[in-house]
Amino acid sequence: MIRSFRRVLRLLAALALVGAVVVALLEYMNRIDPVAHESYWRDGRALEALDAKLSFEVMRARDGLSANYDGIVETEQAINVSLRRLATPPSHLTTADAGRLKEALGHLTTTMSDKELLIEELKSQNAVLRNSQRYFPVIAEQVRDSLTGVGQLALARLVNDVLTAVLRCGQGDPTEDQLARAQLALDTLSTRTAPLGLGDDMDVVINHGQVVLDRSAAVSNLVNAILAAPTTTDTVAFDVTYQRGHMQALRKSEHRRTLLSVLSIVTVLLVGADIILRLRESARIERMANEMLTRANDALFREKERERELRELKSRFVSMTSHEFRTPLSVILSSSELLEAYGERWPQTKRADHYTRIKAAIRSMTDLLDGVLVIGLAERGKLRHDPAPLDVGRWAAELAEAIRPSLGPNHRLVADVDGDFEDAWADERVLSHVFTNLLANAVKYSPDGGTVRFTVRRAADQAVFTVSDEGIGIPQKDRHELFESFHRGSNVGAISGSGLGLAIVKRALEAAGGDIELDASVSKGTTFLVSMPIAGPATAAPDVGPIEAAVTTPRDGGGAPAGSRDSLAD
């Protein structure tokens, strides 16, 4: 066995070594390049900063703080460069994580493209707005001054109100109230008639003012749309996706390294164990030889003991059968000879008496052989247990009535049934094997008579039987072999018996899941306590093994097996 164990150790060591090599290769192929990770991570963070810078440049353009759009263009170019670099994820990410990262990057690229389109529209709208904002104040002031010079003070004040309201809307993000007041002033001015020579200038003021109002609202809406674009959220989501994939790769790398360490340690331990076993193998072989010699001696001794027991059992069986068969054979022989010699001269009643003796002797011999057959089937485990619905209480009462005719003049049978057994399940043949033997023994081993008690009560899913007598009892020294085949008590004297009754009882109960014990507290006679399961198939305990009826005994009118009292008693 040690050699087999050593082969197993070597096989396990080889497997552990192969596993370590495989894990090392996987770690090498999926190693994390810190330079690539740092570069990719910086590009992702730079993208967040560039997006914020782009929004800042847009706000500067809206407020007129930048003379051109160079800052916006440069920022957009830097963003596109970063997006192109981020299109190739690091190799240490898993396929699933790389796919999720590319999906997040694609969504971010689309969002950035939509933002750039809004910025291009902003540029167009803002260019028109800035042009009108440059010309509108100049022409409005000229018209106002000209109207003042010709004495049109009311109209000059209206032009000044338009100038003030429109200029307020042209600065930053105008409110709805500001736009409404400026539009009302323009609408009012457009209803007035300009003095001769100022009509065209008035139309220019109104047109440029309207352009400033319309474009200011459009530019404001575009700027708000640009600032509300989800690029910041998508950039953060992209960064979080990458960080999750990177952490997953770190954890897998850590697991691989841990597994590699464990496999290396296991390989060293297994190789060391194999070396130790190899060094100890010589001592083990010597010890094994000594143990084999000892076991051989023990086996030889046990075989001799078994042979002795078999010889003793055979001797007891031969002695019992020769003794038990002698009496019925003598009866058969004597009755046959008498019938042959005097049968024709005897009256019918005397011939019938001898025929009855012959039948009883034959039945006794048959029952003895049947008992031996039961023991043989039990020893081979071929007894069958077939429980069926049976009113155990009624069956016990019928058995007691069947036993009564066999009682002696000094015997008294007391039977008592306590409990409802209508839903019970039991094998009637097993019950007959057990209790015909116990009751027959109770009567036979009470030669001076006395009371034989047979009681049955229900305890949940168990039937508890009691069979007691006031006979000769069982000596203490014989109780350890009480249920052995062909064993009889040392105090039986001239009482005939085969020594099989209690052995049959024990075997039948074991196969049916029941139990029997001798009540040692009783000082006079013998009391046996028997318990058997009686639950139906829905609530029955697990099957405890088959029990097969070894003897099919015809039943008499009382419901108990005919001839069972004499034949099955030990």
The fold of the 31-229 domain, in CATH, is Methane Monooxygenase Hydroxylase; Chain G, domain 1 (1.20.58)
Residue 531: pLDDT band (50, 70, 90) is: very high
Instruction: Give the confidence band of 530 by pLDDT, cuts at 50, 70, 90.
Output: very high
465, pLDDT greater than 90 = yes
Range in 175-189, 371-385, 387-401, 445-459 the model is least confident about: 371-385
How far apart CA 437 and CA 482 sit, in angstroms, is 14
| Mean pLDDT value of segment 428-437 | 87
Please determine, for residue 556, whether its predicted confidence score (pLDDT) is greater than 70.
no
Mean pLDDT, range 132-142, rounded to an integer = 83
DSSP reduced 3-state for 196: coil
Does the structure show a pLDDT above 80 at 487?
no
pLDDT of residue 305: 79
* Range in 141-155, 192-206, 311-325, 407-421 with the lowest mean pLDDT: 311-325
Please tell me the predicted confidence (pLDDT) of residue 371: 67
pLDDT at 466: 94
Contact 93, 245 (CB under 8 A): yes
The pLDDT value given to residue 317 = 63
pLDDT given for residue 312 in this prediction: 66
C-alpha–C-alpha distance, residues 117 and 63, integer Å: 20
> For the chain, which residues make up each domain, given as ranges?
31-229, 382-568
Q: Looking at per-residue confidence, does 481 or 312 come out higher?
A: 481
User: Residue 305 CB: number of other CB atoms within 10 A?
Assistant: 10
In this predicted structure, the answer to whether residue 122 has a pLDDT above a threshold of 60 is yes
Position 315 pLDDT exceeds 70:
no
Decide which of 381 and 246 is more confident. 246
pLDDT higher than 90, residue 290? no
CA torsion 427-429-434-437 (nearest 10°) is: 160
Q: What's the Cα-to-Cα distance from 493 to each of 317, 408, 447, 497, rounded to whole Å?
A: 18, 19, 11, 10
Confidence of residue 553 (pLDDT cuts 50, 70, 90): very low
Q: Which burial class, exposed, middle or buried, applies to 378 when counting CB atoms under 10 A from its CB (0-12, 13-18, 19+)?
A: buried
Confidence of residue 564 (pLDDT cuts 50, 70, 90): very low
Statement: residue 452 has pLDDT above 90: yes
**pLDDT for the residue 493:** 77
User: How buried is 433 (Cβ within 10 angstroms: 0-12 exposed, 13-18 middle, 19+ buried)?
Assistant: buried
Q: Tell me the pLDDT tens digit for each residue of 218-239.
A: 888 888 888 888 888 888 898 8
pLDDT of residue 265: 92
Domain 382-568 of CATH type 3.40.50.1820 = no
CA distance 112 to 80: 9
Sign (positive or negative) of CA dihedral 142, 143, 147, 153: negative
Cα–Cα distance, 408 to 450 (Å, whole number): 10
Average pLDDT of span 33-37? 86
Q: What is the mean pLDDT of the chain?
A: 81
Express as a percent the part of the chain with pLDDT over 90: 10
Asked whether residue 52 carries a pLDDT value surpassing 70, the answer given is yes
Stretch among 35-44, 171-180, 387-396 having the lowest mean pLDDT:
171-180
The pLDDT confidence band at residue 169, using thresholds 50, 70 and 90, is confident
Convert the pLDDT of each residue in 248-277 to its tens digit. Answer: 888 888 888 899 899 899 998 888 887 887
Query: What average pLDDT score do residues 472-477 get?
Result: 85
The two beta strands, 425-426 and 450-459, are unpaired
The pLDDT of residue 533: 92
Q: Which two tokens stand for residue 474?
A: 């069982």
Which of 238-242, 441-445, 497-501, 526-530 is predicted least confidently?
497-501
Res 319 pLDDT > 70: no
More confident residue, 561 or 120: 120
Whole-number pLDDT of residue 566? 34
pLDDT value for 395: 92
| DSSP of 58-98 | HHHHHTT--SSSHHHHHHHHHHHHHHHHHTS--TTS-HHHH
pLDDT at 563: 35
Q: Assess whether pLDDT exceeds 50 at residue 65.
A: yes
